[in-house]
Amino acid sequence: MTVQQAAQTALPDEPPRESHARGWRGPGWGFIVKVVLMALVNALGVMAIISALSVQSWLILTVAVVLLLVADVVYFTRRALPLKYLMPGLVFLLVFQVFVFGYTAYIAFTNYGTGHAGSVEQAVDAALIQGERRVEGSATYPLAVVERFGEYGFAINDGGDVLVGTETQPLEETGSAPAGDAPDEVFGWTIVPRAQLLTDQSLQATIEALRVPVSDDPNDGSIRTRDGSSGLVYTPTMLWDDEARTITDTVNGTVYTADDATGSFVAEDGSRLPAGWYVGVGLDNFLRVFTDASLAGPLLSVTVWTFAFAIGSVVLSFALGLVFAIVFNDPRVRARKYLRTLIILPYAFPAFMSALLFRGMFNAEFGVINDLFFFGSQINWLGDPWLAKAAVLWINVWLSFPYWFLVCTGALQALPKDTLEAASIDGAGKWRQFRAIVLPLLLVSTAPLAISSFAFSFNNFTVIYMFNAGGPPIPGAPYSLGSTDILISAIYRVSGVAGGAADYGLASALSIIVFIVVGIISAIAFRQTRKLEEYQ
């Protein structure tokens, strides 16, 4: 036996290798979870795409398709590992920051608002509807209210022919029924029971306001109902000429011409119809802020008060918080833990609840402020402009000083004790130490927080609206602007969310201006805070 044969004989037998098919155990739980999550993402993406197609919003459709494709590529390939972690944040940034700001900027250059909220076709329909009247001697049609996918419509019996339509779809023939009877069955639609129409008040209002066009020509009128069982034909007193793009008032003969520059139907005497459409107006909304006398005056008053409110809130709350921090930082004060807990209670209480409570406390007739501190005098805190400003400023200081108390307490405890001891040995008194050492070092650490607090108070909508809704009103001011309104609450009023006429274009322009102002002030303030670093 050779040496090589002996070595081969001495080696143990190698265990058989398992095949790849037997060793593969299938996808892991991580892959399954990823597939499930991506299935949900794709489902939501498809829903967004379908919704964008239904309203013909091509921008949203394009963005949804691109984001969905990018998400599938990123999470089903091994090469884009960093994007797997970055993409969720980037998508949220794009949707909730970039898109919102971009859309706001777009609206700022349009006349979008009440009376200018749709297309030319929608404005024509609205103008014709506003001048509707019943056709004298017209037939009364047996009618049934129908519903499909949450959309309501009318089904009428026209001499045995069943016609069905909705607010956006003119009447179309769908079948037949005995003459004189309301349709009891309409293919593809659900008949709304008569009992439901009689008991559901919100549904009654919806049906009474519903108008179903007779045909594609808006001048032919529409079907309306008052009782939900019979339909009448109403035709407009306005006539639309599609070729000339004019609306003629048949009562007085006035002709209104479509003006694409203003998005309105304008007559020769300058009068306009209430219904219009939104168009680009360039810088008109920004110019109105400074050139419209009826608007510029109240807005200037609101702007001055906004700065006073923001600066006063920061300065007073910082000063009050610093005083309490210095007091309770003294080791000679007993029960400091419990007293500090009491101090921060206003900060832990919801701001809107505090504003509502103070609103009752400042009431002139039964408020405890007048009863306890002013011997029952009926001081009109909510009705007088200056008293209302003082009251809302006090409320904001009361809510925000605990925050500064916490910040200043931590900053005081972090001060270098050897520096203070050296100053004391050199003969510096408490005031000298505070002015030359403590305050400059505190400002180094609290100045950035003061800037953010200023920006927060500059846009503190909650306290202003919940305490007094921005009142009392400024006499003669448009959009019901009030004496305690700050810019953010003024924008809320201009937008029409609280009721009344809405001017989204002007509100968006004001939002852009506020954004620019706060950004410039913050940039200047941050640059100035660098000078404080020399005290470190």
One domain, residues 124 and 102:
no
Per-residue pLDDT, 221: 86
Single residue among 79, 108, 137 that ends a domain in this structure: 108
Residue 294 vs residues 154, 282, 289, 301, 515: alpha-carbon distances, Å: 47, 21, 10, 12, 23
Look up the CATH number of the domain holding residue 472: 1.10.3720.10
Tell me if 162 is assigned to some domain. yes
**Residue range 149-171: average pLDDT?**
92
- Domain contains 446: yes
* Number of domains into which the chain is organized: 3
Q: Is residue 5 one of the residues assigned to a domain?
A: no
pLDDT band at 24 (very low <50, low <70, confident <90, very high): low
Closest CA to 402 of 344, 353, 322, 351: 344
In a domain, 34, yes or no: yes
166 within some domain: yes
Lowest mean pLDDT among 20-24, 202-206, 475-479: 20-24
Determine the pLDDT at residue 529.
72
Q: Do 527 and 417 lie in a common domain?
A: yes
pLDDT of residue 329: 87
Nearest C-alpha neighbor of 446 from the set 525, 331, 347, 342: 525
User: Whose structure tokens read 């219009």?
Assistant: 276
Give the structural domain span for 347: 292-535
Q: Is residue 261 part of a domain?
A: no
**Helix 487-494 / helix 293-328 crossing angle, nearest 10 deg:** 140
Note whether 175 and 71 are same-domain residues.
no
**Residue that the structure tokens 């049934």 belong to:** 144
Q: Quickly list H helices, 131-274.
A: 194-199, 201-209
Do 149 and 78 share a domain, yes or no? no
The verdict on residue 271 lying in a domain is no
Q: Are 322 and 343 found together in one domain?
A: yes
pLDDT of residue 381: 93
What pLDDT does residue 414 have?
86
pLDDT, tens digit, for every residue of 102-138?
A: 999 999 999 999 889 888 988 988 888 877 888 777 7
- The 10s digit of each residue's pLDDT in 445-477 is 888 899 889 999 999 999 999 999 998 999 989
Q: Is the alpha carbon torsion for 307, 310, 314, 320 positive or negative?
A: positive
Do 217 and 360 lie in one domain? The reply is: no
> What pLDDT sits at residue 1?
47
Rounded to 10 degrees, what is the CA torsion of 125, 128, 133, 134?
A: -40
Cβ(296)–Cβ(289) below 8 Å: yes
Are 80 and 222 part of one and the same domain? no
Task: Kindly state whether residues 36 and 141 are assigned to the same domain.
Answer: no
Among 516, 515, 508, CA closest to 491: 508
Question: How large is the average pLDDT for residues 494-521?
Answer: 89
Task: Decide: pTM greater than 0.85.
Answer: no
Pair (435, 517) in one structural domain: yes
Q: Say if residue 536's pLDDT is above 60.
A: no
CA angle, 353 then 354 then 358, to 5°: 120
pLDDT for the residue 376: 83
More confident residue, 307 or 219: 307
Structure confidence by residue, pLDDT tens digits, 404-422 = 999 999 988 888 888 777 8
Identify the H or E element spanning 529: helix 504-529
Q: Could you tell me the pLDDT band of residue 21, with boundaries at 50, 70 and 90?
A: very low
**Alpha carbon distance 110, 382 (integer Å):** 37
Name the most confidently modeled range: 17-21, 354-358, 411-415: 354-358
More confident residue, 484 or 535: 484
Top mean pLDDT of 114-118, 180-184, 389-393 is at 389-393
Please choose, from the candidates 512, 467, 458, 466, the residue with its C-alpha nearest in 3D space to the C-alpha of residue 487.
458
Q: How many CB atoms lie within 10 A of CB 296?
A: 13
- Of 194, 223, 239, the domain-final residue: 239
Same domain, 308 and 451: yes
Confidence of residue 10 (pLDDT cuts 50, 70, 90): very low
Of 108, 143, 176, the residue at which a domain comes to its end is 108
Report pLDDT for 496: 87
Distance separating alpha carbons of residues 483 and 248, to the nearest angstrom: 44
User: Do the beta carbons of residue 266 and residue 259 sit within 8 Å?
Assistant: yes
228 and 340 inside one domain: no
The answer to whether residue 531 scores a pLDDT higher than 80 is no
Peptide bond preceding 88: is omega within 30 degrees of 0, i.e. cis? no
Q: What is the pLDDT of residue 339?
A: 86
Q: What is the mean pLDDT of the chain?
A: 87
pLDDT tens string 288-330: 999 998 999 999 999 999 999 999 999 999 999 999 999 988 8
- 101 shares its domain with 141: no
pLDDT at 12 > cutoff 70: no
Residue 191 falls within a domain, yes or no?
A: yes
